[in-house]
Structure formats: structure tokens, C-alpha cells
Structure 1
Amino acid sequence: MFSSRFLVPAVLLLLTGCTDSKTTFEPITQKTETPAPVVAEPHEANEPAIQLPAADAPIVKVTAAELYADIRAGDDQVARYAKSWVDVSGELFNIDVVVHDATGEKILTMAIAPPSNGGLGSTDICVCQAADGEQPWKQTQPRSEVTLRGALTEEGGFHHLVACRIIDTKGAPVPEFTVDELRARLQEDPPGMAEQFSPSPQKSLILMGQFAGRIAPENAEDKSSWVAIDGADKQRVFGYTGSFNMRAFEGLQPGDDVTVMAVLSIPSAEQALTTNLNSTINLTPFAREKPATP
């Protein structure tokens, strides 16, 4: 089920090509012991599957603010969405990957909020579990105006949308780089990259490489850690993540292909090679090629 708690995970990636000789890497093979805040969960194994509306079911069109107001108003208002698809328009608050506490399943989610309320700390957020095969980063950036279509359901007292797809957006796809391409662009064209990734508004990128491992923290009680991603030319990017985001990297072995999404904000051309990436998530399970539509 979904939890009503909503946290925006933050991961720090440092654009650097070397590491301390004392650095110790280890694969991520086990879950952390620290409970992670869960943004979204599918139905439990012993619960009935969610029944989606028919393909030709009616469509209810609302804004994110209207949907959130109806949910707060209670069952009488929510009843109007029964057996219908919901088209909800607003700002794409984020794209995220969460981990089911019981099964370890990785789940791709999107969150939509009213444009005027879409900054960090917004409470009027509707969480949407993406439909199978969806790759929303190929359609738009977080913080873009979007319309999502999904089915409203309730689990454990928490309402959310499932089977969500982006049906309209004013945003552009998230640009994709390999580790080597990103390093090369930052070195060859600092002014252009500073313009493309100016801090306001924040912009995301997709980064692809090979998982190098997890840097073991000095304190065994510390469940946060660094991960490293290599390029083909032995360039390396380091990423710091808390225990919540660390869970999405579980199961990766050194040498495995990995795809992550991160925010890059470059204040000036002079800072292009020293600026950090943040708010990184592991998209690897969902970065496969989307099947062609018949």
C-alpha cells in the first residue's frame, strides 16, 4: 500500500575522476536495517489486485488541487471517480523509485502537485504509480506542466493513482549522457553546459555507466553511503545517498550497467567541473527499451 508520508530523497554525486587509495568498495547485496520511509507500495500478496477501469470508461478531468481537495473532503466526493479514468493536470513534482518493504520490489512513481504549490515542502501532492513500461523521463522534466491519466484507488486509508501515463506535457525530455559524455561536455563547453543547466529552474539529466560499488562507511551504524559509477574510459562519478535511496541500488554488482537520474545545477561556467549532482534515483530496472505499440 501507499504511505501518506512523502519525502524527497537527496543524493549527491561528485564529478571526479579519482579516489583515495584507501577507499573500499563492496557490492550492495543486502537490505539496510534502518526502516525506509515508503512513498508507494503495491497491494500485498494476499490482497485482491486493483481493478482498473475499462479502456473506454468515462474520463474525469481535474487539476491536482481539485483532486486533492476531493480526497480531503471524504468518500462522498471521491465516489465520483469510481470506475473512471482520471486526467489530472498540474506540475510534475518528481519521478521516483521506491522499494516495497515486504517484497523488495522496485516501483516507479510520479507525483503531481498544483503549480503554485510545487516547491519542496508542498503538501498537496498526489502520488501516481506509473503504468508498466512507462518511461516518463523520455517525455518531460520534473517541474514541468503535465497531465497524467490514471485510476484513483485507496489502500490503507491513503488515496493515490495507479496505471499512470503522461498524456500531455509542456516540458522536454530529460537529456541523456554516459559518464564519459558528461565529463567531456563539461570540459569542452563549460558556458554551454552552464546555460543548459542553470540553477533556476532546476533541470535533471539521465546518466548511464557501470556500477563500480558501494563505498563502505567508516561507521557500521551509518546506513547512508557513497556509490561509484564508471564510464568506458575509466572516468568515475561518486554518489552519496541516504538509506532510503540506497535501497534502490540493492542487488547491483560491480560491472553492472546502471542508469540514474539526477539534478545538475551549474551556477557559472567556472564551476562546471566542480558542481555537484543531486536528487539522484536508480532507474536501472525501468530503463529497458519500451515495447513498440502495435
Structure 2
Amino acid sequence: TFSNFFDMVDDVGVPVVVGGQIENTGLETIFSNSLALKFLGVPGSPESILESIAVGVKVQINEIIDSPIPLGQSYALSISKLLIAEMNLAYLTAVTYDMGFDTPSSNIEGVPQGGVGLQFYDVQLIMDIYTQIGIPIQLDMNLKGLKGEDSVLAVINPELNVPEINTTGDSVRTIITLNKDGQKVEWYHMDNIDGYIPDATIFTPIDEEENSIVDIMNFAPEKIEFGGGAKINGPGFLAPNSFLWGTFTLIAPLAFIFEQPVNILPATPTAMAPMDPATSQQIDSSLVEAALNVTIT
């Protein structure tokens, strides 16, 4: 009896039993059974931590009727080996506690910068993340603007959408948008992964003591670093070949707030062609009022 491998029947764990009749042939008897689609854990205690696999052996000798038993001999029943072949689990249900993994930092190049008296009105950082890991995942990402020895930091720490338990190889999607107003998190479930309307939306406004992505851009950084990690914490399942991946996009539109008066000077002056003497003499003798219209493209 393999108590830790079981089927669920009417919400009750039924352990896997392997065995059968042993024929009196003097030959080795092998019993086998597949553990495919079985649960591995502690029956009746889904939150318990599995520390060992229990194997029980029971031998029953049927009654002997009208069969001679020679006297003066020794009789014994021996089990020489109990072998468990290599197991390939379809997925593993588990409870994790603050299991983290880091991601390499990325430098964002070619970021437009404001100038003296210019402030970015809005900037968007969009993270599009897919996950197949069925355990609660908490992002712990940082967006840092660097200028010399000074820096400005914004924290990105939403909870990601994860697949429902007992589904393997399926993906769900999370779109995280950071802008001047705060952080918006959109969840798209498996059957709506490419949909236009999210299944759930969570908006968190910017705290007065925190920096927004616009604050980082208006810091006029020489370099922007984007990196961090994630924490897996809570009950769920982890299937082989399960991944978490995604992309991020920084959108810095050409929209500024003029905090101070700004003079815009052309790079090169535009020369006007001289008027002929007759026209010049006519304007000088009769001009009362004039207007100059300039079109800038």
C-alpha cells in the first residue's frame, strides 16, 4: 500500500494498492502499477508537508485444506526487494514560503530627456507578462534613474495572475501599466488571454511618499535600470516546463509642461529676400499698419 499516492473518490483519498496472487512456482513475482493521474501528498491533509513516502506491506496466506505438509522442513516467505522505478510527475502540488528568484537588470537606452523649464506630462511603462506557474507570485521590480551618484527609484510590486490548480501547460496574462496617476494591473484568464476586456482590474494610485515613473523621467537620468525579482509564496502547483516570461515597453510621448518661460530660438536664422526699390518707396510713403504671419512646422 502506497499511502501517499492516492485517488480522490468523493473527496476522500484512496491509496494505491499494488499486489496479487503469488503462484507457487519458485519464480520471481513482479507486481506493477502506474501512478499516472494519482495525487502525491498526505491524504486528508492537503496543507501538510510531505516529508517521506510511506509503503505498507501485508502478506496473507490462504487456508490450506487437504494439502500435505512434509515435516522436518523449514518454510519461509521472503521479500527480497521492493523497487520503485523512476517517477516522472505530471505536476507537483506544494506550499511555498517566500521562495524568490531574481531577474537580470536591463538598461533602457535612448530615453528622451527634458530640458530646463520642461517637464514630462506623462510617461508609461507597460509590462506584459505571461505565466504558467500555478503558485501565487508577487513581483518585486525596481525602476531606477541614475545621474552621477544620485538616483530616483520607483517600486513595482503587484501580484500576478496565475493559472487555476489542476491545469497544466496553460498560460494566463498580466498587463501592468505605470503612469503619472499610479499603477494599473489587468488580469486576463486562460480563456481570455488575448481579449480586449480584462477579467479583473486593480488600480493603485501613487502614494505621496513614492516616486512615479514621471518623477524618474523628470529627474533627467543619464541611465535607467530596470530589474529585480519575484517571490513565490502560498499553496499551488508547479508543473514541469512551466515558465514565466514577458516584455516591457517604455512610452515617453512628446508632451511637456512648461514650468518656466521658455524662449525657442531657431538653429539658423531665416534670411528674407530684399524688396525692390519701387516697392520699398511705396511702403515707406503709404504704410499705416502691417502684420507678420509666421508658420512653424
Q: TM-score, normalization: structure 2?
A: 0.20
Higher CA-based Rg: 2
Q: TM-score, normalization: structure 1?
A: 0.20
